[in-house]
Amino acid sequence: MARVIQFGTDGWRATIADTYTFDNVRLAAQATAEYFLSSKKAEHGILVGYDTRFASDRFARAVAEVLAGNGIHVLLSDRFQPTPVFSYSVIDRKAGGAIVITASHNPAPDNGFKIKSDAGASAPPEVIEQVEKNLDRLDASGVQR
């Protein structure tokens, strides 16, 4: 069976309430938390941000809960911001990376999950590959909250 969460160009995007659900966002967050922990990036804290799409703030809080449940210091944005703000903030705060809830230019019914590196850039292919490997062995029971 194919994995529901498939990362593509600059993140995972899907239709809200179809495959973009709180359970799946939490799975993606857990897989990403495990990457941040194993790579030691989590030691510098992780930013979590979101845009103005439907329920983006709630999805971001769910991501922050999972990261915190894994013992990661989280800086959760208190309001929506454009994605480049989080890229800059990763560098400015010397954070280990960021997760941004946004589907960018995709249609309004979609939302997304972008991983930013400690350089503020989109996560490189080898990071996405590791996150996807983590996803392949996870189910809801493995999500820390």
> Which residues does the annotation mark as catalytic?
104
* 97 within 8 A of 47, measured Cβ to Cβ: yes
